[in-house]
């Protein structure tokens, strides 16, 4: 391709360094031919991108056309492909990566609620872009802080939450491990916080630029003590937008940290995103306690019937109180080492998280209500599993697909759905974490596993083959 690029630009007057940098457009030209794409869009794009350097723009266009012509005339390729336009709902679209969508979602919360969204974070692959994107959103009610480490990242977010901000922090696996102690503090002080984990190959430094979904266990269980938390996972780059908003809504409503899981594949992957009309995404209530709630005093842990505590923030006269990591009396919130109080508090906090199920929609079945095999997915494997299911059903197999958005609490109808199929298969990019969790949560359900831990999305063909092997 170097030689062909040079040939295309012979006599152009460009240096050999400049010429070699045009090579990518040759390759792109071939791709356009290979996939039968109209070239006008790309030519316009080059003109716009290199508007300040017209001679480079001209060179790139020339090389692009040369690559296209090469595809046409060379004997290397035996066929072209034509991908018909996807059947998309009418509307206005843009491209988003999952990380962009996450940032857009958090900023949308700031705009809809009129409250400050505070992000305390630290750069880490593959989550850094969320911090970067959000740092541009100062005019939308977003405040970002690049802290000195992962722990200060979440610490600053919790501090901001104490002050009344809708707070979040973003990281990947190693950062989530570092944040464990802090998450426990957010949990016991019952402050709203969203923790985004863009999962990557682990354990330890692992494979930072490769995707994986092996942080389900740490999300569900990764704190010392009895420390359950709501856990939600996005299923596509676009879905990161809606998941981010939902995670913040739940965190604020229930006064709890919420862990939002995505992964490198979603974070860096991109897809068309249908821009919602104004009014589609609903604002949610952000209410602060402004008056005493118990005999002229403010009891920070006096809960409502859903076990949610009232959020009083600094600056509110008369409601001065202290929050902290020590166990607290169930009414006054004062430090308490009383044994029975502690047991009550542990169970109360757990019940509050369990109560979040009222905001967890029933899991939807893509396919028949009963059958031979149910594929259960979560997170970024949605696409592969849906495609596999579509193919299997086209083959006449009695299979269905259930995708979990909420990992904790899980949907109320999940047990019944699992029991409606002869077999359950959980394809995951890990060594069987959801399978383990389902096995433990639903006595009698013993899911089969399809595990790929190779840093890539699951191959549809391999999954289809596995299901057919199981079905016999």
Partner 1 sequence: MSQSNGQNTTPAAGATPTYTKKDFESGVDPRWCPGCGDFSIINQVQKALPGVGVARENIVFISGIGCSSRFPYYMNNYGMHTLHGRAPSFASGLKISRPELQVWVVTGDGDALAIGGNHFIHTMRRNLDIKLLMFNNRIYGLTKGQVSPTSELGKKTKTTPHGSPDYPFNAPALALGAGATFVARSVDIEGAHMAGVLKSAAEHKGSVFVEIFQNCPVFNDGAYLFLTEKAVKADAQLRMEAGKPLLFGKDNKKGIRFNTQTAELEVVTLGENGVTEKDVLVHDPHRQDPTIAFMLANLSDRAGFPTPIGIFRDVRKPTADEMTWDMIKAAKAKKGETSVRKFLSDAETWQVK
Give residues 126-145 in contact with partner 1 (rule: CB under 8 A). 138-140, 143, 145
Rg from Cα positions in the chain: 26
Q: How far is the CB of 397 from partner 1 (least distance, A)?
A: 32
Compute CA 138 distance to the chain's CA centroid, rounded to the nearest angstrom.
22
Burial category of 208 from C-beta neighbours within 10 Å (exposed 0-12, middle 13-18, buried 19 and up): middle
Q: In the bound complex, what is the minimum distance in angstroms from residue 178's beta carbon to partner 1?
A: 11
Which CB sits closer to partner 1, 40 or 89? 89
Residue 10 or 85 having the CB closest to partner 1: 85
Nearer to partner 1 (CB atom), residue 203 or residue 314: 314
Is 149 one of the binding residues for partner 1 (CB under 8 A)?
Answer: yes
What does the DSSP 8-state code read for residue 223?
Answer: S
Q: How far is the CB of 394 from partner 1 (least distance, A)?
A: 25
322 binds partner 1 (CB under 8 A): yes
Measured torsion, CA atoms of residues 28, 30, 35, 40, in degrees rounded to the nearest 10? 60
Smaller CB separation from partner 1, 270 or 413:
270
Q: Name which of 315, 314, 313, 460 is nearest 392 in CA terms.
A: 460
What string marks each residue from 245 to 264 as x (binds partner 1 by CB under 8 A) or -?
A: --------------------
What track of x and - describes contact with partner 1 for positions 398 through 437 (by CB under 8 A)?
Answer: ----------------------------------------
Q: Which range of residues in 154-162, 218-226, 412-420, 460-468 is near partner 1 by CB under 8 A?
A: 154-162
Look at residues 79, 111, 64, 73 and name the one whose alpha carbon lies nearest to residue 245.
111
> What is the contact mask toward partner 1 in residues 175 to 194, using x (rule: CB under 8 A)?
------xx--x---x-----
Cβ atoms of residues 451 and 433 within 8 Å: no
**How many residues of this chain interact with partner 1, rule: CB under 8 A?**
76
Closest C-alpha among 229, 248, 112, 242 to residue 170: 248
Among 1, 43, 177, 334, binds partner 1 (CB under 8 A): 334
8 Å CB contact between 313 and 116: no
Nearest by Cα to 228 from 132, 145, 352: 352
Cα separation, 76 vs 73, whole angstroms: 9
Residues 72-111 contacting partner 1, CB under 8 A: 88-95, 104, 107-108, 111
Alpha-carbon distance of 343 to 5, in angstroms, equals: 72
- Residue selected from 1, 4, 56, 151 as contacting partner 1 according to rule CB under 8 A: 151
């Amino acid at each position: 391709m170097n030689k062909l690029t040079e040939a295309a630009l012979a006599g152009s007057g460009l240096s050999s360094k400049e010429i070699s940098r045009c090579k990518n457009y040759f390759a792109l030209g071939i791709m356009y031919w290979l996939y039968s794409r109209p070239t006008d869009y790309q030519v316009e794009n080059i003109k716009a991108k290199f508007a300040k350097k017209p001679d480079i723009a001209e060179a790139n266009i020339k090389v692009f056309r040369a690559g296209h012509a090469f595809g046409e005339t060379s004997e290397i390729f035996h066929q072209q492909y034509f991908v018909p336009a996807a059947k998309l709902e009418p509307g206005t679209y843009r491209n988003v990566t999952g990380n962009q969508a996450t940032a857009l979602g958090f900023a949308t919360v700031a705009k809809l609620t009129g409250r400050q969204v505070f992000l305390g974070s630290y750069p880490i692959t593959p989550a850094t872009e969320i911090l970067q994107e959000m740092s541009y959103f100062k005019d939308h009610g977003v405040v970002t802080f690049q802290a000195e480490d992962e722990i200060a990242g979440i610490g600053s977010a919790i501090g901001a939450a104490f002050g009344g901000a809708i707070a979040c922090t973003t990281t990947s696996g190693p950062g989530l491990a570092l944040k464990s102690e802090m998450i426990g503090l957010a949990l016991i002080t019952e402050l709203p916080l969203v923790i985004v984990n863009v999962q990557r190959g682990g354990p330890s430094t692992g494979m930072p630029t490769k995707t994986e979904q092996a942080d389900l266990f740490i999300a569900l269980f990764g704190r010392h003590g009895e420390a359950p938390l709501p856990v939600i996972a996005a299923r596509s780059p676009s879905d990161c937008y809606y998941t981010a908003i939902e995670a913040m809504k739940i965190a604020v409503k229930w006064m709890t940290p919420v862990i939002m899981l995505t992964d490198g594949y979603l974070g860096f992957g991109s897809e068309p995103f249908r821009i919602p009309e104004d009014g589609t995404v609903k604002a949610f209530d952000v209410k602060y306690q402004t008056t005493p709630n118990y005999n002229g005093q403010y009891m920070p842990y006096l809960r409502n019937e859903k076990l949610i505590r009232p959020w009083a923030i600094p600056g509110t006269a008369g409601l001065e109180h202290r929050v902290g990591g020590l166990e607290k009396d169930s009414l006054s919130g004062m430090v308490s080492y009383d044994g029975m109080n502690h047991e009550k508090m542990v169970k109360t906090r757990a019940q509050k998280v369990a109560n979040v199920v009222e905001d967890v929609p029933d899991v939807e079945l893509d396919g028949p209500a009963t059958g031979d095999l149910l594929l259960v997915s979560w997170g970024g494997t949605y696409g592969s599993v849906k495609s596999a299911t579509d193919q299997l059903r086209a083959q006449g197999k009695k299979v269905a697909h259930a995708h979990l958005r909420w990992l904790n609490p899980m949907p109320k109808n999940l047990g019944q759905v699992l029991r409606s199929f002869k077999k359950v298969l959980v394809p995951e990019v890990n060594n069987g974490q959801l399978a383990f969790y389902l096995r433990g949560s639903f006595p009698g359900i013993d899911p089969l596993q399809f595990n790929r831990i190779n840093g890539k999305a699951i191959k549809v063909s391999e999954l289809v083959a596995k299901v057919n092997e199981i079905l016999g």
